[in-house]
Amino acid sequence: MFSVEDLHFAQKYPFSLIAKRVVKESNLSLDSVSEEIIGRARAMALSSWGGKSYRPNIVSSRELLEQEVLAFPVAKILVSLAKNDLLARRFCEMNAKRVFGSLEGEKNDALFQLAQELGIEFSFPEKEDFFAMVSVPVFLSASFAQDFMKLANQKVSNGFVFLSRNEFCRLVAFSFEQKLALEFPLETGGVPKKLQQAASGLKSYFFEKQFVPVQGTILGGIKPEFFPACLQKLYSDILGGRKLSHLERFSLATCMLSLGVGERDVVNLYRATPNFDEKITAYQVSRLAGKTGKVIQAPSCKKMAEYGLRLPTCPCVSNMSIKHPLSVYRRQVLLDSKEKKKP
């Protein structure tokens, strides 16, 4: 039986060997996983979506602590079932931040142990000015987003990066984030119905939340609910953080610009995508808008079909007279306006 201290440690560091032992020795079965564990897993996913920290304050209950440890792998399954790239990325980010917050107050021996369990190779500098040192490739593998953690802002000598204790904690936490991100999406074939239902509820919640901040602010008067199926999919995909292909990005951006959406607002649409680069995106959008030459027109239904982006539910499939996705949108907006004017 694990002690309360062991379970606390496993709950704080879900990648640790002790956490893996807890999961293994619990004989966790997805067919019989408790509603309490599913509820905690759902809470983890919801917290990550909202950008909130997930830190349940459990002091001495062995049962509740074990539920927390077991909820982490269940949460990964729910996130994978939700099929939302942005959620998966936020889930990884939240857990990395949670780990970092715990590491700052951890004893050095435990910190070094956790680094080793993540496979981080490190050594100690001869001078006491720094806490630890790692090779440049090890440092870069953490893919730090913060400018102050970029390699250019570090003390580097003879192929090694010299780190303070705080920076070493960040290295451990972000290494965990990178490893966790590589696990998604998990294989979810044969997942029990109750977990599928829990994930379905999350998926609906996330889809609804994605549209709220955009309809009234980023896109102004644009109404995405009137987009034809092809544009609705691109729109929901971009908000969901999916990595769009070049043709998908091109089609969505040119359609938004054609509808009068400002360049800055179009750029903001792409912020949720992996590897977003604001300068590159702004330059590409400005070119499409004609700032450096001719305005690039949005693709017709025929072009969307050639790009492989037309869907079976697009109205142009059954009505050959429809030539452009935006004509569908404008017709729907007009009909909606006339309907509202009726006495």
Alpha helices in 259-324 (DSSP H): 263-269, 278-288, 301-306, 315-318
Query: What pLDDT is recorded for position 289?
Result: 94
d(CA 176, CA 14): 10
Name, in order, each residue with C-beta under 8 angstroms of 63's C-beta and a sequence gap of 6 or more. none
Query: What pLDDT is recorded for position 217?
Result: 37
* Per-residue buried b or exposed e for 257-275, using 16+ beta carbons within 10 Å of the residue's own CB: bbbebebebbbbbbebbee
Query: What pLDDT is recorded for position 215?
Result: 39
Contact 266, 281 (CB under 8 A): no
Residue tagged 């440049």 (tokens):
136
Alpha helices in the chain (DSSP H): 4-12, 17-25, 35-49, 62-82, 85-103, 108-117, 136-140, 165-181, 193-213, 229-239, 246-258, 263-269, 278-288, 301-306, 315-318, 325-341
Cα 315 off chain centre by: 32
Residue tagged 């808008």 (tokens):
289
Name the token pair of 149: 């953690």
Please count the residues of the chain. 343
Query: What pLDDT is recorded for position 16?
Result: 98
Name, in order, each residue with C-beta under 8 angstroms of 12's C-beta and a sequence gap of 6 or more. 98, 99, 102
Residue 157, beta-bridge partner list: 160
d(CA 243, CA 246): 9
Query: What pLDDT is recorded for position 214?
Result: 40
Contact 90, 272 (CB under 8 A): no
Query: What pLDDT is recorded for position 84?
Result: 76
Name the token pair of 37: 């564990």
Residue range 2-54, pLDDT digits in tens: 999 999 999 999 999 999 999 999 999 999 999 999 999 999 998 887 777 88
Q: What's the predicted TM-score (pTM) here? A: 0.67
Query: What pLDDT is recorded for position 229?
Result: 85
**What does the longest C-alpha to C-alpha distance in the chain come to?**
83
Query: What pLDDT is recorded for position 238?
Result: 84
Cα 18 off chain centre by: 27
Residue 162, beta-bridge partner list: 133, 155
For the chain, which residues make up each domain, given as ranges? Answer: 4-181, 219-341
d(CA 14, CA 12): 6
Which residues in the chain come in under a pLDDT of 50? 211-218
CATH 1.20.930 applies to domain 4-181: yes
CA dihedral (285, 49, 189, 248) in degrees, to 10, reads -10
Query: What pLDDT is recorded for position 240?
Result: 72
The CATH code for residues 219-341 is 1.10.579
d(CA 114, CA 124): 16
> Which has the closest alpha carbon to 64: 43, 94, 90?
43
